[in-house]
Structure 1
Amino acid sequence: MKVLAIMLSLAAAPVAAADTVHFTTEDYPPYNYREGDQIVGAGYDQLLLMMKEINIPYTIEMMPWARAIALAETEPMHCVFTAAHIPERDKKFKWVEPVAVGRNFMVSHRKSGITVGNIEEAKGYIVGTQRNDYTQTLLENEGFPKIDLATDLKLTLKKLQSKRIDLMPISEQHYIELQEKGEELEAQFVFSEQIFAIACNANFPQDLLARMQGELDKLIADGTQAKIFDTYNLRYTNFGLVAAKP
Protein backbone atom coordinates (compact mmCIF):
# COMPACT_ATOMS: atom_id res chain seq x y z
CA MET A 1 0.00 0.00 0.00
CA LYS A 2 1.33 3.38 -0.95
CA VAL A 3 1.52 5.63 2.07
CA LEU A 4 0.87 9.32 1.66
CA ALA A 5 2.21 11.46 4.47
CA ILE A 6 3.01 15.06 5.19
CA MET A 7 5.22 16.37 7.99
CA LEU A 8 5.65 19.88 9.27
CA SER A 9 8.50 20.77 11.65
CA LEU A 10 8.71 23.44 14.28
CA ALA A 11 10.82 26.40 13.27
CA ALA A 12 11.64 27.09 16.91
CA ALA A 13 12.92 24.65 19.54
CA PRO A 14 12.97 20.94 18.63
CA VAL A 15 9.93 18.91 19.64
CA ALA A 16 10.05 15.33 20.86
CA ALA A 17 8.68 12.65 18.53
CA ALA A 18 6.01 11.91 21.13
CA ASP A 19 4.59 15.40 20.49
CA THR A 20 3.99 14.71 16.81
CA VAL A 21 0.28 14.40 15.96
CA HIS A 22 -0.57 11.49 13.67
CA PHE A 23 -3.69 11.88 11.55
CA THR A 24 -5.23 8.95 9.71
CA THR A 25 -7.93 9.06 7.07
CA GLU A 26 -9.57 7.02 4.32
CA ASP A 27 -10.51 7.46 0.67
CA TYR A 28 -13.94 9.05 1.18
CA PRO A 29 -14.79 11.82 -1.30
CA PRO A 30 -15.43 14.69 -1.11
CA TYR A 31 -14.02 14.94 2.42
CA ASN A 32 -10.68 13.16 1.91
CA TYR A 33 -9.51 11.26 -1.17
CA ARG A 34 -6.64 10.65 -3.55
CA GLU A 35 -6.14 12.81 -6.60
CA GLY A 36 -3.04 11.52 -8.33
CA ASP A 37 -0.28 11.39 -5.74
CA GLN A 38 -1.97 13.86 -3.42
CA ILE A 39 -4.63 13.72 -0.73
CA VAL A 40 -7.30 16.36 -1.20
CA GLY A 41 -10.80 17.03 0.09
CA ALA A 42 -12.94 19.35 2.17
CA GLY A 43 -11.88 17.78 5.46
CA TYR A 44 -8.23 17.50 4.46
CA ASP A 45 -7.97 21.15 3.39
CA GLN A 46 -9.41 22.35 6.69
CA LEU A 47 -6.97 20.19 8.62
CA LEU A 48 -3.97 21.63 6.75
CA LEU A 49 -5.04 25.19 7.52
CA MET A 50 -5.66 24.38 11.18
CA MET A 51 -2.30 22.70 11.70
CA LYS A 52 -0.43 25.42 9.80
CA GLU A 53 -1.56 27.93 12.43
CA ILE A 54 -0.84 25.62 15.35
CA ASN A 55 2.64 24.96 13.93
CA ILE A 56 3.59 21.62 15.47
CA PRO A 57 4.85 18.46 13.74
CA TYR A 58 2.22 16.14 12.28
CA THR A 59 1.72 13.35 9.78
CA ILE A 60 -1.25 12.40 7.61
CA GLU A 61 -1.67 8.85 6.33
CA MET A 62 -4.42 7.34 4.18
CA MET A 63 -5.41 3.74 4.85
CA PRO A 64 -8.47 1.46 5.08
CA TRP A 65 -11.04 2.92 7.47
CA ALA A 66 -11.01 0.06 9.98
CA ARG A 67 -7.29 0.57 10.60
CA ALA A 68 -7.53 4.36 10.51
CA ILE A 69 -10.12 4.59 13.25
CA ALA A 70 -8.53 1.78 15.30
CA LEU A 71 -5.25 3.71 15.51
CA ALA A 72 -7.06 6.82 16.74
CA GLU A 73 -8.86 4.76 19.36
CA THR A 74 -5.74 3.02 20.69
CA GLU A 75 -2.78 5.39 20.17
CA PRO A 76 -2.52 8.56 22.35
CA MET A 77 -1.28 11.05 19.73
CA HIS A 78 -3.51 9.83 16.92
CA CYS A 79 -6.62 11.42 15.37
CA VAL A 80 -8.84 10.23 12.53
CA PHE A 81 -10.85 12.28 10.03
CA THR A 82 -13.41 12.79 8.58
CA ALA A 83 -15.31 10.81 11.25
CA ALA A 84 -19.04 10.86 11.97
CA HIS A 85 -19.77 11.89 15.56
CA ILE A 86 -22.37 9.33 16.57
CA PRO A 87 -23.44 8.39 20.13
CA GLU A 88 -21.62 5.04 20.03
CA ARG A 89 -18.31 6.83 19.42
CA ASP A 90 -18.83 9.81 21.70
CA LYS A 91 -16.88 8.61 24.78
CA LYS A 92 -14.22 6.80 22.77
CA PHE A 93 -12.68 9.98 21.36
CA LYS A 94 -12.12 13.67 21.89
CA TRP A 95 -13.74 15.73 19.15
CA VAL A 96 -12.92 18.74 16.97
CA GLU A 97 -16.04 19.76 15.05
CA PRO A 98 -17.91 20.43 12.85
CA VAL A 99 -15.76 19.74 9.81
CA ALA A 100 -19.03 19.26 7.92
CA VAL A 101 -22.65 18.30 8.42
CA GLY A 102 -24.02 15.64 6.15
CA ARG A 103 -26.79 13.23 5.34
CA ASN A 104 -26.78 9.68 4.07
CA PHE A 105 -29.26 8.40 1.52
CA MET A 106 -30.25 4.77 1.26
CA VAL A 107 -29.72 4.02 -2.42
CA SER A 108 -30.42 1.20 -4.84
CA HIS A 109 -29.37 0.39 -8.37
CA ARG A 110 -31.64 2.34 -10.65
CA LYS A 111 -32.78 -0.77 -12.50
CA SER A 112 -33.31 -2.92 -9.42
CA GLY A 113 -37.05 -2.29 -9.20
CA ILE A 114 -36.69 -1.69 -5.46
CA THR A 115 -38.91 0.92 -3.82
CA VAL A 116 -38.57 1.52 -0.07
CA GLY A 117 -39.59 4.60 1.85
CA ASN A 118 -38.18 3.99 5.31
CA ILE A 119 -35.90 1.87 7.46
CA GLU A 120 -38.45 -0.83 8.23
CA GLU A 121 -39.13 -1.44 4.55
CA ALA A 122 -35.40 -1.53 3.80
CA LYS A 123 -34.83 -4.32 6.35
CA GLY A 124 -36.25 -6.82 3.88
CA TYR A 125 -33.20 -6.37 1.62
CA ILE A 126 -29.45 -7.04 1.71
CA VAL A 127 -27.76 -3.76 2.68
CA GLY A 128 -24.04 -3.24 2.15
CA THR A 129 -21.50 -0.91 3.72
CA GLN A 130 -17.81 -0.82 4.60
CA ARG A 131 -16.53 -2.63 7.66
CA ASN A 132 -16.22 -0.53 10.84
CA ASP A 133 -17.78 2.50 9.19
CA TYR A 134 -20.29 4.39 11.33
CA THR A 135 -23.02 3.28 8.92
CA GLN A 136 -22.36 -0.31 10.03
CA THR A 137 -23.15 0.77 13.59
CA LEU A 138 -26.30 2.57 12.46
CA LEU A 139 -27.50 -0.45 10.51
CA GLU A 140 -26.84 -2.79 13.42
CA ASN A 141 -28.56 -0.47 15.89
CA GLU A 142 -31.61 -0.33 13.64
CA GLY A 143 -31.74 -4.13 13.57
CA PHE A 144 -31.00 -4.75 9.89
CA PRO A 145 -30.86 -8.56 9.57
CA LYS A 146 -28.83 -8.79 6.35
CA ILE A 147 -25.73 -6.59 6.36
CA ASP A 148 -22.98 -7.20 3.82
CA LEU A 149 -19.58 -5.76 4.85
CA ALA A 150 -16.76 -4.84 2.47
CA THR A 151 -13.30 -3.39 3.04
CA ASP A 152 -14.16 -0.02 1.47
CA LEU A 153 -16.90 2.06 -0.08
CA LYS A 154 -15.80 1.41 -3.66
CA LEU A 155 -16.17 -2.35 -3.23
CA THR A 156 -19.63 -1.90 -1.73
CA LEU A 157 -20.62 0.24 -4.70
CA LYS A 158 -19.37 -2.46 -7.10
CA LYS A 159 -21.52 -5.01 -5.28
CA LEU A 160 -24.54 -2.75 -5.70
CA GLN A 161 -23.81 -2.29 -9.39
CA SER A 162 -23.52 -6.04 -9.91
CA LYS A 163 -26.67 -6.59 -7.80
CA ARG A 164 -24.88 -8.69 -5.21
CA ILE A 165 -26.48 -6.38 -2.64
CA ASP A 166 -29.78 -4.52 -2.85
CA LEU A 167 -29.17 -1.25 -0.98
CA MET A 168 -26.39 0.80 0.55
CA PRO A 169 -26.19 4.03 2.58
CA ILE A 170 -24.12 6.72 0.88
CA SER A 171 -23.38 10.34 1.65
CA GLU A 172 -25.54 12.92 -0.08
CA GLN A 173 -22.57 14.62 -1.69
CA HIS A 174 -21.02 11.43 -3.00
CA TYR A 175 -24.40 10.36 -4.35
CA ILE A 176 -24.70 13.62 -6.30
CA GLU A 177 -21.19 13.21 -7.69
CA LEU A 178 -21.80 9.63 -8.77
CA GLN A 179 -25.02 10.59 -10.49
CA GLU A 180 -23.25 13.36 -12.36
CA LYS A 181 -20.73 10.74 -13.54
CA GLY A 182 -23.57 8.64 -14.93
CA GLU A 183 -23.83 5.97 -12.23
CA GLU A 184 -27.25 4.34 -12.22
CA LEU A 185 -28.21 5.01 -8.62
CA GLU A 186 -31.56 5.91 -7.12
CA ALA A 187 -32.05 7.55 -3.71
CA GLN A 188 -34.80 5.84 -1.73
CA PHE A 189 -34.94 7.85 1.52
CA VAL A 190 -32.78 9.83 3.98
CA PHE A 191 -31.14 7.20 6.16
CA SER A 192 -29.21 9.38 8.61
CA GLU A 193 -27.92 12.85 9.42
CA GLN A 194 -24.64 13.46 11.23
CA ILE A 195 -21.84 15.83 12.15
CA PHE A 196 -18.45 15.05 10.63
CA ALA A 197 -15.43 15.74 12.80
CA ILE A 198 -11.81 15.06 13.69
CA ALA A 199 -11.81 12.30 16.33
CA CYS A 200 -8.75 12.16 18.58
CA ASN A 201 -7.65 9.53 21.07
CA ALA A 202 -9.29 9.78 24.49
CA ASN A 203 -5.87 10.59 26.02
CA PHE A 204 -5.05 13.28 23.46
CA PRO A 205 -3.67 16.45 25.17
CA GLN A 206 -6.58 18.70 26.09
CA ASP A 207 -4.66 21.93 25.49
CA LEU A 208 -3.74 20.86 21.96
CA LEU A 209 -7.30 19.76 21.29
CA ALA A 210 -8.52 23.20 22.38
CA ARG A 211 -6.07 24.88 20.01
CA MET A 212 -7.28 22.71 17.13
CA GLN A 213 -10.90 23.53 17.95
CA GLY A 214 -10.06 27.21 18.13
CA GLU A 215 -8.50 27.16 14.67
CA LEU A 216 -11.50 25.32 13.22
CA ASP A 217 -13.81 27.88 14.84
CA LYS A 218 -11.84 30.63 13.06
CA LEU A 219 -12.21 28.87 9.69
CA ILE A 220 -15.95 28.74 10.22
CA ALA A 221 -16.26 32.31 11.49
CA ASP A 222 -14.27 33.97 8.69
CA GLY A 223 -16.01 32.05 5.90
CA THR A 224 -13.02 29.88 4.93
CA GLN A 225 -14.88 26.64 5.61
CA ALA A 226 -17.75 27.74 3.37
CA LYS A 227 -15.27 28.57 0.58
CA ILE A 228 -13.71 25.12 0.92
CA PHE A 229 -17.17 23.57 0.65
CA ASP A 230 -17.70 25.51 -2.57
CA THR A 231 -14.39 24.25 -3.93
CA TYR A 232 -15.53 20.66 -3.53
CA ASN A 233 -19.10 21.25 -4.70
CA LEU A 234 -20.44 20.52 -1.25
CA ARG A 235 -24.04 21.56 -1.46
CA TYR A 236 -27.06 20.62 0.57
CA THR A 237 -30.30 20.12 -1.27
CA ASN A 238 -33.85 19.07 -0.66
CA PHE A 239 -34.10 15.32 -0.92
CA GLY A 240 -36.54 15.39 -3.84
CA LEU A 241 -34.18 17.46 -5.97
CA VAL A 242 -31.41 14.88 -5.99
CA ALA A 243 -33.42 11.79 -6.87
CA ALA A 244 -32.30 9.75 -9.87
CA LYS A 245 -32.53 11.39 -13.25
CA PRO A 246 -35.20 10.02 -15.60
Structure 2
Amino acid sequence: MLKLYLLLAALFPITAQAAEIRMVTESYPPFNYREGSTYKGSSVEQVELLMKYAGIEYAMEMMPWARALFLAENREMHCVFTTVHNKERDGRFKWVEPLLTSRTVLIRKAGSPADPKTIEEAKDFRVGTQRDDFTQTILEENDFPRIDLATDLQLTLKKLMTGRIDLMPISEKYYERLKREGQPIEATVVLAEDIYSIACNPSVPDELIDHMQKNLDSLIADGTQAAVFEKYGLASE
Protein backbone atom coordinates (compact mmCIF):
# COMPACT_ATOMS: atom_id res chain seq x y z
CA MET A 1 0.00 0.00 0.00
CA LEU A 2 2.81 2.39 0.84
CA LYS A 3 4.42 1.87 -2.56
CA LEU A 4 1.07 2.47 -4.25
CA TYR A 5 0.53 5.68 -2.24
CA LEU A 6 3.98 6.99 -3.17
CA LEU A 7 3.36 6.16 -6.81
CA LEU A 8 0.06 8.04 -6.83
CA ALA A 9 1.62 11.00 -5.02
CA ALA A 10 4.38 11.13 -7.61
CA LEU A 11 1.89 11.00 -10.48
CA PHE A 12 -0.43 13.73 -9.12
CA PRO A 13 1.58 16.79 -10.20
CA ILE A 14 2.11 15.21 -13.62
CA THR A 15 -1.66 15.00 -14.01
CA ALA A 16 -1.97 18.69 -13.16
CA GLN A 17 0.69 19.57 -15.77
CA ALA A 18 -0.50 17.24 -18.51
CA ALA A 19 -2.13 19.91 -20.69
CA GLU A 20 -0.11 23.07 -21.38
CA ILE A 21 -1.94 26.35 -20.87
CA ARG A 22 -1.45 29.09 -23.45
CA MET A 23 -1.23 32.50 -21.78
CA VAL A 24 -1.97 35.30 -24.26
CA THR A 25 -1.77 39.02 -23.65
CA GLU A 26 -1.31 42.41 -25.30
CA SER A 27 1.30 45.14 -25.02
CA TYR A 28 -0.10 47.35 -22.24
CA PRO A 29 2.77 48.66 -20.08
CA PRO A 30 3.42 48.55 -17.22
CA PHE A 31 1.20 45.45 -16.88
CA ASN A 32 2.38 43.52 -19.94
CA TYR A 33 4.99 44.53 -22.51
CA ARG A 34 7.96 43.29 -24.51
CA GLU A 35 11.54 44.45 -24.02
CA GLY A 36 13.54 42.90 -26.83
CA SER A 37 12.58 39.24 -26.76
CA THR A 38 11.67 39.31 -23.05
CA TYR A 39 8.18 39.77 -21.66
CA LYS A 40 7.96 42.09 -18.68
CA GLY A 41 5.37 43.87 -16.57
CA SER A 42 3.58 43.63 -13.24
CA SER A 43 1.04 41.13 -14.55
CA VAL A 44 3.60 39.13 -16.52
CA GLU A 45 5.70 38.62 -13.38
CA GLN A 46 2.70 37.58 -11.32
CA VAL A 47 1.61 35.08 -13.97
CA GLU A 48 5.12 33.65 -14.23
CA LEU A 49 5.38 33.25 -10.45
CA LEU A 50 1.95 31.75 -9.83
CA MET A 51 2.34 29.28 -12.70
CA LYS A 52 5.80 28.28 -11.47
CA TYR A 53 4.61 27.72 -7.91
CA ALA A 54 1.50 25.88 -9.11
CA GLY A 55 3.70 23.57 -11.18
CA ILE A 56 1.66 24.12 -14.34
CA GLU A 57 3.27 24.04 -17.78
CA TYR A 58 2.45 27.10 -19.91
CA ALA A 59 3.55 29.21 -22.85
CA MET A 60 3.11 32.99 -23.15
CA GLU A 61 2.53 35.06 -26.27
CA MET A 62 1.87 38.76 -26.89
CA MET A 63 -0.47 39.90 -29.67
CA PRO A 64 -3.18 42.49 -30.48
CA TRP A 65 -5.86 42.55 -27.80
CA ALA A 66 -8.81 41.53 -29.98
CA ARG A 67 -7.00 38.37 -31.09
CA ALA A 68 -5.87 37.51 -27.56
CA LEU A 69 -9.42 37.81 -26.23
CA PHE A 70 -10.79 35.78 -29.15
CA LEU A 71 -8.33 32.94 -28.55
CA ALA A 72 -9.08 32.76 -24.84
CA GLU A 73 -12.80 32.57 -25.52
CA ASN A 74 -12.67 30.14 -28.44
CA ARG A 75 -9.59 27.93 -28.02
CA GLU A 76 -9.24 25.21 -25.41
CA MET A 77 -6.60 25.66 -22.69
CA HIS A 78 -6.11 29.37 -23.46
CA CYS A 79 -6.12 32.18 -20.88
CA VAL A 80 -5.87 35.94 -21.46
CA PHE A 81 -4.56 38.69 -19.17
CA THR A 82 -4.64 41.48 -17.95
CA THR A 83 -8.44 41.25 -18.35
CA VAL A 84 -11.08 43.36 -16.66
CA HIS A 85 -13.71 41.15 -14.99
CA ASN A 86 -16.97 42.83 -15.88
CA LYS A 87 -20.59 41.72 -16.13
CA GLU A 88 -20.47 41.22 -19.88
CA ARG A 89 -17.50 38.83 -19.68
CA ASP A 90 -18.32 37.08 -16.43
CA GLY A 91 -19.94 33.88 -17.68
CA ARG A 92 -17.66 33.45 -20.68
CA PHE A 93 -14.51 32.58 -18.72
CA LYS A 94 -13.10 31.02 -15.59
CA TRP A 95 -11.34 33.66 -13.50
CA VAL A 96 -8.13 33.98 -11.47
CA GLU A 97 -7.94 37.32 -9.67
CA PRO A 98 -6.99 40.00 -8.83
CA LEU A 99 -3.80 40.81 -10.67
CA LEU A 100 -4.65 44.36 -9.62
CA THR A 101 -7.59 46.61 -8.86
CA SER A 102 -7.84 50.06 -10.36
CA ARG A 103 -10.17 52.77 -11.55
CA THR A 104 -10.53 53.62 -15.23
CA VAL A 105 -10.28 57.32 -16.04
CA LEU A 106 -10.77 59.40 -19.15
CA ILE A 107 -7.62 61.37 -19.94
CA ARG A 108 -6.93 64.29 -22.25
CA LYS A 109 -3.81 65.93 -23.65
CA ALA A 110 -2.68 68.59 -21.15
CA GLY A 111 -4.20 71.94 -21.97
CA SER A 112 -6.78 70.51 -24.35
CA PRO A 113 -10.19 72.23 -24.43
CA ALA A 114 -11.73 68.79 -23.88
CA ASP A 115 -12.27 69.00 -20.12
CA PRO A 116 -15.52 67.24 -19.16
CA LYS A 117 -16.63 67.20 -15.53
CA THR A 118 -19.16 64.38 -15.94
CA ILE A 119 -19.62 61.33 -18.15
CA GLU A 120 -22.50 63.14 -19.90
CA GLU A 121 -20.24 66.06 -20.79
CA ALA A 122 -17.58 63.61 -22.03
CA LYS A 123 -20.01 62.35 -24.67
CA ASP A 124 -19.57 65.64 -26.55
CA PHE A 125 -16.01 64.63 -27.48
CA ARG A 126 -14.25 62.07 -29.68
CA VAL A 127 -13.14 59.20 -27.45
CA GLY A 128 -10.64 56.60 -28.59
CA THR A 129 -9.88 53.12 -27.29
CA GLN A 130 -8.72 49.64 -28.37
CA ARG A 131 -11.01 47.35 -30.35
CA ASP A 132 -12.68 44.72 -28.14
CA ASP A 133 -11.14 46.23 -25.01
CA PHE A 134 -13.39 46.35 -21.95
CA THR A 135 -13.37 50.14 -22.26
CA GLN A 136 -15.14 49.84 -25.59
CA THR A 137 -17.96 48.06 -23.75
CA ILE A 138 -18.08 50.79 -21.08
CA LEU A 139 -18.27 53.51 -23.70
CA GLU A 140 -20.98 51.71 -25.66
CA GLU A 141 -23.01 50.96 -22.52
CA ASN A 142 -22.88 54.67 -21.67
CA ASP A 143 -23.99 55.61 -25.21
CA PHE A 144 -20.89 57.50 -26.25
CA PRO A 145 -21.73 58.59 -29.81
CA ARG A 146 -18.20 59.00 -31.26
CA ILE A 147 -15.91 56.09 -30.46
CA ASP A 148 -12.65 55.77 -32.39
CA LEU A 149 -11.23 52.21 -32.35
CA ALA A 150 -7.56 51.32 -32.75
CA THR A 151 -5.64 48.04 -32.63
CA ASP A 152 -3.69 48.80 -29.44
CA LEU A 153 -3.22 51.25 -26.61
CA GLN A 154 -0.08 52.89 -27.97
CA LEU A 155 -1.85 53.84 -31.19
CA THR A 156 -4.74 55.28 -29.19
CA LEU A 157 -2.33 57.33 -27.07
CA LYS A 158 -0.63 58.61 -30.23
CA LYS A 159 -4.00 59.71 -31.59
CA LEU A 160 -4.67 61.57 -28.33
CA MET A 161 -1.35 63.40 -28.45
CA THR A 162 -1.80 64.40 -32.11
CA GLY A 163 -5.38 65.64 -31.66
CA ARG A 164 -7.10 62.92 -33.68
CA ILE A 165 -9.18 62.09 -30.59
CA ASP A 166 -10.06 64.25 -27.58
CA LEU A 167 -10.19 61.69 -24.76
CA MET A 168 -9.18 58.10 -24.02
CA PRO A 169 -9.88 55.72 -21.13
CA ILE A 170 -6.99 54.03 -19.30
CA SER A 171 -6.26 52.45 -15.95
CA GLU A 172 -5.67 55.05 -13.26
CA LYS A 173 -2.48 53.21 -12.29
CA TYR A 174 -1.16 53.48 -15.84
CA TYR A 175 -2.17 57.15 -15.96
CA GLU A 176 -0.13 57.80 -12.80
CA ARG A 177 2.83 55.97 -14.33
CA LEU A 178 2.65 58.05 -17.53
CA LYS A 179 2.44 61.26 -15.49
CA ARG A 180 5.59 60.33 -13.55
CA GLU A 181 7.34 59.69 -16.86
CA GLY A 182 6.48 63.23 -17.99
CA GLN A 183 3.67 62.57 -20.45
CA PRO A 184 1.62 65.78 -20.97
CA ILE A 185 -1.74 64.29 -20.01
CA GLU A 186 -4.47 65.08 -17.49
CA ALA A 187 -7.28 63.00 -15.99
CA THR A 188 -10.85 64.19 -16.34
CA VAL A 189 -13.66 61.91 -15.12
CA VAL A 190 -13.75 58.40 -13.63
CA LEU A 191 -15.47 55.84 -15.85
CA ALA A 192 -15.39 52.74 -13.64
CA GLU A 193 -13.69 50.81 -10.85
CA ASP A 194 -12.32 47.48 -12.05
CA ILE A 195 -10.74 44.17 -11.10
CA TYR A 196 -8.03 43.05 -13.55
CA SER A 197 -7.72 39.28 -13.85
CA ILE A 198 -6.65 36.19 -15.76
CA ALA A 199 -9.61 34.99 -17.86
CA CYS A 200 -9.46 31.32 -18.91
CA ASN A 201 -11.38 29.31 -21.45
CA PRO A 202 -13.98 27.07 -19.74
CA SER A 203 -12.01 24.03 -20.94
CA VAL A 204 -9.26 24.73 -18.40
CA PRO A 205 -9.90 22.20 -15.59
CA ASP A 206 -11.17 23.52 -12.27
CA GLU A 207 -8.22 21.82 -10.58
CA LEU A 208 -5.76 23.99 -12.50
CA ILE A 209 -7.81 27.14 -11.89
CA ASP A 210 -7.79 26.34 -8.16
CA HIS A 211 -4.00 25.85 -8.18
CA MET A 212 -3.54 29.16 -9.97
CA GLN A 213 -5.88 31.02 -7.63
CA LYS A 214 -4.27 29.64 -4.47
CA ASN A 215 -0.83 30.66 -5.66
CA LEU A 216 -2.00 34.15 -6.62
CA ASP A 217 -3.60 34.43 -3.17
CA SER A 218 -0.21 33.53 -1.68
CA LEU A 219 1.57 36.19 -3.75
CA ILE A 220 -0.86 38.75 -2.39
CA ALA A 221 -0.68 37.52 1.22
CA ASP A 222 3.11 37.41 1.47
CA GLY A 223 3.61 40.88 -0.03
CA THR A 224 5.05 39.72 -3.37
CA GLN A 225 2.30 41.39 -5.39
CA ALA A 226 2.90 44.71 -3.60
CA ALA A 227 6.65 44.43 -4.28
CA VAL A 228 5.96 43.80 -7.98
CA PHE A 229 3.70 46.88 -8.09
CA GLU A 230 6.47 48.97 -6.53
CA LYS A 231 9.00 47.64 -9.03
CA TYR A 232 6.86 48.83 -11.93
CA GLY A 233 5.91 52.17 -10.43
CA LEU A 234 2.39 51.18 -9.45
CA ALA A 235 1.07 52.29 -6.10
CA SER A 236 -0.31 49.25 -4.21
CA GLU A 237 -3.88 49.37 -2.95
Question: How many angstroms does 1:17 deviate by?
Answer: 9.6
Q: Distance in 2 between matches of 1:170 and 1:75?
A: 28
Q: Distance in 2 between matches of 1:58 and 1:51?
A: 8
Q: 1:193-204, aligned counterparts within 5 Å?
A: 193-204=193-204
User: 1:182-212: CA deviations, max 9, x gaps?
Assistant: 2221111212110010000022211111111
Q: Distance in 1 between matches of 2:112 and 2:102?
A: 26
Q: Residue 172 of structure 1 corresponds to which residue in structure 2?
A: 172
Q: Distance in 1 between matches of 2:131 and 2:79?
A: 19
Matched residue count: 227
Q: Residue 6 of structure 1 corresponds to which residue in structure 2?
A: none
Unaligned runs of 5+ in 1: 1-10, 238-246
Please state if 1:86 is matched with 2:86: yes
Q: 1:1-246, aligned counterparts within 5 Å?
A: 19-235=19-235
Q: Residue 4 of structure 2 corresponds to which residue in structure 1?
A: none
Q: Residue 243 of structure 1 corresponds to which residue in structure 2?
A: none
Q: Which has the larger radius of gyration?
A: 2
Matched residue type, 1:213: Q
Q: Residue 8 of structure 1 corresponds to which residue in structure 2?
A: none
Q: Distance in 2 between matches of 1:139 and 1:108?
A: 16
User: 1:29-85: CA deviations, max 9, x gaps?
Assistant: 111111232111111111111111122321000000000011000012000011000
Question: How many angstroms does 1:236 deviate by?
Answer: 5.9
Unaligned runs of 5+ in 2: 1-9
How high is the sequence identity, in percent, across the aligned residues?
52
User: 1:105-144: CA deviations, max 9, x gaps?
Assistant: 1111113222211110000111000000000000000110
Q: Secondary structure at the match of 2:88?
A: helix
Q: Please tell me whether the aligned partners of residues 18 and 77 of structure 1 are also in contact (alpha carbons under 8 angstroms).
A: no
Matched residue type, 1:19: A
Q: Distance in 2 between matches of 1:169 and 1:14?
A: 43
Question: How many angstroms does 1:176 deviate by?
Answer: 1.8
Name the stretch that deviates more: 67-76 or 179-188: 179-188
Matched residue type, 1:146: R
Give runs of ≥4 in structure 1 deviating > 3 Å: 11-18
Question: How many angstroms does 1:24 deviate by?
Answer: 0.1
Q: Secondary structure at the match of 1:83?
A: strand
Q: Distance in 2 between matches of 1:165 and 1:133?
A: 17
Q: Secondary structure at the match of 1:19?
A: coil
Matched residue type, 1:186: E
Q: Please tell me whether the aligned partners of residues 173 and 234 of structure 1 are also in contact (alpha carbons under 8 angstroms).
A: yes
Q: Secondary structure at the match of 2:89?
A: helix
Name the stretch that deviates more: 83-92 or 53-62: 53-62
